[in-house]
Structure 1
């Protein structure tokens, strides 16, 4: 091919319930501003259609992972997540994404960054955005990444090969404390809220306090302009008290509306990106929900009163796309030592070069 465009190696993955572009760190500019501008150009932002890029025109299908070989002891890969805005010239590198994380190990194998074993390959990942460490178990029969399988996750049609993930160091990654305000609940704009930082800073409120049932569809929620105005008021106040500064132009803290489960789950949730309602639930936020259910005084514990005990627990979280099982482990009596466990799937969609 002969043209005046710059070409950059890229792999597209459906990863968990998200979709994103995966790049090698060395293939992108080192300067942060230059790198972010390039990512926005690649994705086609700012433009709600993203017609001039490879973005999916929704937050959950417009994501970027940047991968490198790690120099840390016991770690194979370093993962940096970028959330490009769709309609603004913003590339946010503060949050993480557990769904996009799912395909990181597979990407590393495909790119020859880690050695592959016959049967199963274990890949240890460091999340640059949060400081968490994640162990992934990837199916690799005959030393080949297996994408086909019979494991199903809510929010994705069909089945695929399971990728098991075990999370450590997930407490206080952005704020320094799993209770970043120092309280189990606060009042923001007249609404009782619990703020947690376990894998992701999230502000939780009860559906009934927002004038909702909690069982609305994402489309129904997205149509409520006044709701998002209220969410932003609460997010801004919560963000300041969590020590994150202003929420304006940032996707963290995330926002979630919770209510009682009605389909044999433990708790029901509507999660926000935060500019739209998520079709399911972010992996990182799932750990917040699960661990928060064991913390007395939080509004999550009011709805889903789990008794704290050492060891592993499964919390069933109902989402618009179905029920998600999220595992948490308490190795000590201190909540800050909580660990997470989940199983997701990923599929390689395209490998090649993107042009800008």
Structure 2
């Protein structure tokens, strides 16, 4: 069987993992591209045994990079969420954890030349149009992964990658509150439908008979909750203008509860058909914005700070994540930027091999 070799870098970005490709090495047509990514990841088997996926939604993610033709950006980052078993690829969302590796990967690929002890890289998230500034550690103009920054959900420590997100409000639906309401009721459950970095349907954990402090596995095992949540998510997807979302990973779903470990608020996040083992970077921004917004389902769960910018600490299933929110409340909630510290590490590089022409739609290289 003829196989196609595609150069790639295998990276951990935040608490996710996956291959990082040059966009030019992949098909331009999205249908053919989806077939290539399904083959590369090994979607269709719970262990992704015939590909390089890891059998979980956080390990079947793909980043595709190119030099940007945008006047503001240095790098275009195109993201794909590949399903573990269903052989589906969703190009609608973006991923902030995988984005943590975009700066280092761009340097590794030669798309960016490091300069000074810290290299600033302007990234355009192609899927949503968001603008992100990544600050990557490059002591002596050399990329390093060594450092003492730790993040919950990833073992050990690494060099910090500071991400500053801009232009993320309404990135998928065009509105901060895509239904026009601070709260809507769907199937008898009050929700806040919010679009900040990622459209998320947010509810109170107690309204589902949950504490909001359950482990990821406890939630994963609660299939009655998942059935109820998915029915609400699908109906809310139509309410916010995304149409039929039964096969789309957006919108996501989040649950809130009062903090119990010194944070600002407790949160659980869903991808949406699996419980996120930690917290998505994009989802964290939306949940933090919800926590700060009077009239949302977060009312009564926290004392909202008056200072700005403010650090919102989300307690999640594996620890905590800090989101620095710069916002104003002059004409409703306006998010100026959200900052997070993540880490990334190069795990491997070389070529990933996929079945030849006729099975992926991509021609073998000359």
Tell me the TM-score normalized by structure 2: 0.94
Structure 2 CA distance for aligned equivalents of residues 336 and 100 of structure 1: 26
Structure 1 CA distance for aligned equivalents of residues 329 and 138 of structure 2: 34
Structure 1 stretch displaced more, 320-329 or 297-306:
297-306
Which residue of the partner structure matches residue 329 of structure 1?
326
**C-alpha displacement of 1:320:** 1.1
**C-alpha displacement of 1:332:** 7.0
Q: 1:182 aligns with which of 156, 180, 183?
A: 180
- Unaligned 5+ segments in structure 2 are 355-366
Asked whether the equivalents of residues 293 and 305 of structure 1 are also in contact (C-alpha less than 8 Å), the reply is: no
Structure 1 CA distance for aligned equivalents of residues 323 and 268 of structure 2: 16
After the TM superposition, which residues 1-356 of structure 1 pair with which residues of structure 2 at under 5 Å, given as runs?
4-307=2-305, 311-330=308-327, 333-334=330-331, 335-356=333-354
Structure 1 CA distance for aligned equivalents of residues 124 and 72 of structure 2: 10
Structure 1 CA distance for aligned equivalents of residues 185 and 68 of structure 2: 42
Deviating beyond 4 angstroms after TM superposition, the runs of 4 or more aligned structure 1 residues are none
Structure 2 CA distance for aligned equivalents of residues 97 and 83 of structure 1: 9
**C-alpha displacement of 1:337:** 4.0
Q: Specify the SS of the correspondent of 2:298.
A: helix
**C-alpha displacement of 1:308:** 5.2
Structure 1 stretch displaced more, 327-336 or 312-321:
327-336
- Check 1:62–1:210 CA distance in 2 against 1; reply closer, same or farther (3 A cut): same
Asked whether the equivalents of residues 328 and 334 of structure 2 are also in contact (C-alpha less than 8 Å), the reply is: no
Q: Specify the SS of the correspondent of 1:235.
A: helix
Asked whether the equivalents of residues 22 and 67 of structure 1 are also in contact (C-alpha less than 8 Å), the reply is: yes
Deviations 1:90-149 (A, max 9, x none): 100001110000010111111110121121111000011111101111110122111010
Q: Specify the SS of the correspondent of 1:353.
A: strand
Which residue of the partner structure matches residue 359 of structure 2?
none
Structure 2 CA distance for aligned equivalents of residues 144 and 33 of structure 1: 38
Structure 2 CA distance for aligned equivalents of residues 331 and 215 of structure 1: 30
Asked whether the equivalents of residues 289 and 300 of structure 1 are also in contact (C-alpha less than 8 Å), the reply is: no
- Check 1:319–1:84 CA distance in 2 against 1; reply closer, same or farther (3 A cut): same
Asked whether the equivalents of residues 9 and 349 of structure 2 are also in contact (C-alpha less than 8 Å), the reply is: yes
Structure 1 CA distance for aligned equivalents of residues 4 and 174 of structure 2: 40
> Cα RMSD between the aligned structures?
1.3
Number of residue equivalences: 353
Q: Specify the SS of the correspondent of 1:137.
A: strand
Which residue of the partner structure matches residue 362 of structure 2?
none
**C-alpha displacement of 1:4:** 2.5
Asked whether the equivalents of residues 66 and 79 of structure 1 are also in contact (C-alpha less than 8 Å), the reply is: yes
Asked whether the equivalents of residues 192 and 201 of structure 2 are also in contact (C-alpha less than 8 Å), the reply is: yes
Structure 2 CA distance for aligned equivalents of residues 182 and 230 of structure 1: 24
Asked whether the equivalents of residues 325 and 335 of structure 2 are also in contact (C-alpha less than 8 Å), the reply is: no
